[in-house]
Structure 1
Amino acid sequence: MDAFETWPKALTEEFTANQQNGRVGGKLVSETETLRIWHLHIPPGERLGFHRHVLNYFWTALVPGRARSHYGDGRIAEATYAAGETKHFTFDAGQSMIHDLENIGTEPLVFVTVEFKQSANQPLPL
């Protein structure tokens, strides 16, 4: 069975429509020649839609929480975050990751994401 067959139709349509969406956070709060800083605040039951990461980046969870993500390879994963938890990602030329982020917890999810524009890939347009 194709992993995408288990996704609701609206989700697969959104995935298809957002293949080049470079808005990796809720609000771009700062951008320089070398980086972009995003804030992300997702209330319980809400989600950040599909977006593609092409730049090296890291995120830091500012509060504890739980989330579910659908990924471009069809998998669905759940995660639990601790306040202060940080994760780094790097992408070689031509590599990327597309996913969404749904708050499945009882409190808002709050993250800061920092993208490094001097990466192996060019930034996607916003």
Structure 2
Amino acid sequence: MTQDYGFALARERGIALGPIGHRIVEENELTRVWEVRLAPGEELGFHIHYHPYYVVSLGGGDNEIETIFGKTIATQEPLGHTVYIDEKRAIHKLTNRSDQTYLSRLIEFKAVRWTYDDDPAQARPEAGEQTPEGYAAAFREILEHTADLPWEPKSLKGLYQKMLWRDEETGASIALIKFDKGVGIPNAHAHASNQFMYCLSGKYRYIPTGTTLVAGSFYCNPVGSVHGPTIADEATIFLEIYDGPHYPVQPPWYTDPKDAT
């Protein structure tokens, strides 16, 4: 049975679907990072997603999703709010219902591409048909069994990483990071791109502010924002994501330049 995602209704109403964000911040063969920026009362018009995606709010409040069928869903997306969408949803639009600007980064994972039964333009090729150019590339996958990867020591004693993915052109990366108890970044510092951290275990503290991350904590540090020094009150493991290069210059606590990238 064909599921209705709203394409026929969009054609009937003369609605041309728009982009899922306002501008592309970064893109490579595996990911595409969009900026979404909505002034109070502003809306991002009807659109649909063709890839799983992850949204990180950099500021905002109350938003409203409205599907093409008229169903409305209230959402609250303040600074630091995250959401991962890995299922197809009907055509929809987004409106900022708060009194402050909503800003976010929407990260598409291009290795998976969704098709919709009611969207003829997205039909999969039938058996025996020539595969469209670029079609197979959209389904390239990366699989890492992290338990099988060794912890690689960095040149700051007591700090280790498992690099899961890195774009050598942009410097963007995804890695597991481990701090031994009592180890931290010794100086205040800023990053050359946005830093996203999800704490998997342990207890990690930003000394000047007392901000403490424990298992389940999500932390977003925007590009150029000064933070630290830090200390791991317990042995701590993070999933750490950068959407560009890590540091503007090599920081003094690393003796190996590759540790700063």
- Bin the TM-score by the shorter chain: 0.7 to 0.9
| Structure 1 residue 32 corresponds to structure 2 residue 32 | no
Question: How many pairs does the alignment contain?
Answer: 106
Rg (Cα) greater in structure = 2
TM-score, with normalisation over the residues of structure 1? 0.73
1:63 maps to a residue whose letter is G
Corresponding position of 2:53: 57
Corresponding position of 1:87: 83
Structure with bigger strand share is: 1
Corresponding position of 2:15: 17
| Distance change (3 Å), C-alpha of 1:16 and 1:114 | farther
* Residues in 2 aligned to 1:100 and 1:50: alpha-carbon distance in whole angstroms: 4
Greater RCO (Cα-Cα under 8 Å, separation 6 or more): 1
CA contact (8 A) 2:46 2:68 kept: no
Corresponding position of 1:112: 105
2:38 maps to a residue whose letter is I
Aligned CA RMSD, in angstroms, stands at 2.3
TM-score, with normalisation over the residues of structure 2? 0.37
Does the residue aligned with 2:59 lie in a helix, a strand or coil? coil
* Residues in 2 aligned to 1:117 and 1:78: alpha-carbon distance in whole angstroms: 27
| Distance change (3 Å), C-alpha of 1:57 and 1:31 | same
4+ residue runs of structure 1 moved beyond 4 angstroms?
none
Q: Which runs of 5+ in 2 are unaligned?
A: 1-9, 116-121, 123-261
Give the C-alpha shift of residue 16 in structure 1.
4.7
Give the C-alpha shift of residue 96 in structure 1.
4.1
CA contact (8 A) 1:57 1:89 kept: yes
1:108 maps to a residue whose letter is T
Corresponding position of 2:191: none
